[in-house]
Amino acid sequence: MPAPYHDNAAVDLTLDTRHDLRHDWRLEEIEALFALPFNDLLFRAQQVHRAHFDPNAVQVSTLLSIKTGACPEDCKYCPQSGHYNTGLGKEKLLEIEKVVEQARAAKEAGASRFCMGAAWRSPRERDLEVVLEMVGRVKALGLETCMTLGMVDTDQASRLAEAGLDYYNHNLDTSPEYYGEIITTRSYADRLDTLANVRDAGMKVCSGGILGMGEAPRDRAALLQQLACLNPHPESVPINMLVKVPGTPMENVEDLDPLEFIRAIAVARILMPTSHVRLSAGREQMDESTQAMAFLAGANSIFYGDTLLTTGNPQVERDRALFDKLGLHPEQRDTRTDDERAETALAHAIQRQRDDALFYDAAQA
C-alpha cells in the first residue's frame, strides 16, 4: 500500500486554490498530486476550476487540416508523417476560399475558435504569405484564430501576430526524458524556442501533449511540470489521448487506463488554474462517463466537429447531446478589454474574501 499522502513530509499539499500562479513546481510535488486518492484529487481540481471559471462552460474550437500528409518529421504517433505508411496522400495547401467556407460553417455550428493545422516542419515563405491572408479572412468572420504550422522563428511569429493570429499551437508532446523515443527530427529545445518566439511576438500560447504513448507515470508528471513552468502558463493546454493509427509505430501501444488520463487532466487544472485545459484528441474512443469525468477534473475546452486533422472526432450531434445531458454550454468568446477583465477579477477577489469569512470546512471541524 502506498503511504497516505499526508504522511509525505517532503511535499506540502495544502492547496491555495485561488491565489498565486506558480511556475516553480517540483516534480515530486506534481507526483504527489497524481498520488492523491482519486476523489481528493478531483475535489481539489474542482475547487481550483470553480475559483477561475464558470464550471459549466466549455470553450469550443473547430479544427481543420489546411495541408495534410507527407510531413518530413518522424513523430511516431502521427498519421501525417511521411516516414510511415498510413494511407494518407500528400495534399497541397487548401485554397483560402475553402478554408473560409469551413470556418463559416464552424461558426454557424457554434465554435468560437477556428484552428488550422499544417503538416509542416516549419512554414515556407510562399506558404506563410497565404496563411497570413487566411488568418485575416477567418478573423473577419468574428472567430478567434489558432494555427499550428510546426516550428516558427521570431520573424514568422511576428508576422503571424501582426496578421492578427490569436493563438499558436505547438505541443511539447511528452517529457524531456521520453521525447527521444518519440521524435528524432526536432529537439525538445526546438519546441521550447518556438513557444518563446510565439510568446515574444505577443500571441497566446496553446501547448500540451499526448498521453498513452507508453510513457511512464513520471513522464506525465514531467510533461505537466514543463508546461506549468512556462511563465506565463500557456493560455490553452490540449491534453490528447493517443489515437492509435494503423501504420504508425504506435499502432499497438498498450492502452492508458482512462483513470490515469483523468488524473492528468486534474493535475493540469491544479498546476495551471487560469488556463483552458482541452480534452483534445481521443474523445471518439472515450465513453461519455470518461468525458464527463474529464470535465469534472477541470477540462473546459474541446474540439468540436466530425474530424480532427485526419482522424475522427465525435459527431456534432453526439456532442450536443452530451452537453445537454451534463448541463454544459459553449463558452462565449471573451471580448472584454484588459481593464474590464481586471475589474471583474477584483470584484471576484473581494467576493471570495467575503465567502472565506463564511466558509465552513467540515474536514477541519
Question: Can you give the binding site for ligand DTB, defined by CB under 6 A?
Answer: 63, 79, 117, 148, 169, 171, 208, 238, 240, 243, 280-281, 308-311
* Three-class DSSP labels, the chain: CCCCHHHCCCCCCCCCCCCCCCCCCCHHHHHHHHCCCHHHHHHHHHHHHHHHCCCCEEEEEEEEEEECCCECCCCCCCCCECCCCCCCCCCCCCCHHHHHHHHHHHHHHCCCEEEEEECCCCCCHHHHHHHHHHHHHHHCCCCEEEEECCCCCHHHHHHHHHCCCCEEECCCECCHHHHCCCCCCCCHHHHHHHHHHHHHCCCEEECCEEECCCCCHHHHHHHHHHHHCCCCCCCEEEEEECCCCCCCCCCCCCCCCHHHHHHHHHHHHHHCCCCEEEECCCHHHCCHHHHHHHHHCCCCEEECCCECCCCECCCHHHHHHHHHHHCCEECCCCCCCHHHHHHHHHHHHHHHHHHHHHCCCCCCC
240 lies in the binding site for ligand SAM (CB under 6 A)? yes
- Whose Cβ is closer to ligand SAM: residue 35's or residue 106's? 106
Residue 242 interacting partner from ligand SF4, ligand DTB, ligand SAM, none (CB closer than 5 to 8 Å by kind): ligand SAM
309 lies in the binding site for ligand SAM (CB under 6 A)? yes
Residue 203 interacting partner from ligand DTB, ligand SAM, ligand SF4, none (CB closer than 5 to 8 Å by kind): none
- Whose Cβ is closer to ligand SAM: residue 32's or residue 69's? 69
- Whose Cβ is closer to ligand DTB: residue 17's or residue 290's? 290
Q: Quick check: is 229 catalytic?
A: no
243 lies in the binding site for ligand SAM (CB under 6 A)? yes
Q: Which of 44, 159, 191, 206 is catalytic?
A: 206
Q: Quick check: is 278 catalytic?
A: yes
Q: In this structure, how many other beta carbons lie within 10 angstroms of the beta carbon of residue 200?
A: 12
173 lies in the binding site for ligand SAM (CB under 6 A)? yes
- Whose Cβ is closer to ligand SF4: residue 122's or residue 291's? 122
Q: Which of 22, 44, 50, 78 is catalytic?
A: 78
| Residues from 311 through 350 that contact ligand SAM (CB under 6 A) | none
- Whose Cβ is closer to ligand DTB: residue 93's or residue 281's? 281
| Residues from 11 through 50 that contact ligand SAM (CB under 6 A) | none
Residue 182 interacting partner from ligand DTB, ligand SAM, ligand SF4, none (CB closer than 5 to 8 Å by kind): none
Binding site for ligand SAM (CB under 6 A): 71, 77-78, 80, 117, 119-120, 148, 150, 170-171, 173, 210, 240, 242-243, 245, 281, 309
Active site residues: 71, 75, 78, 115, 146, 206, 278
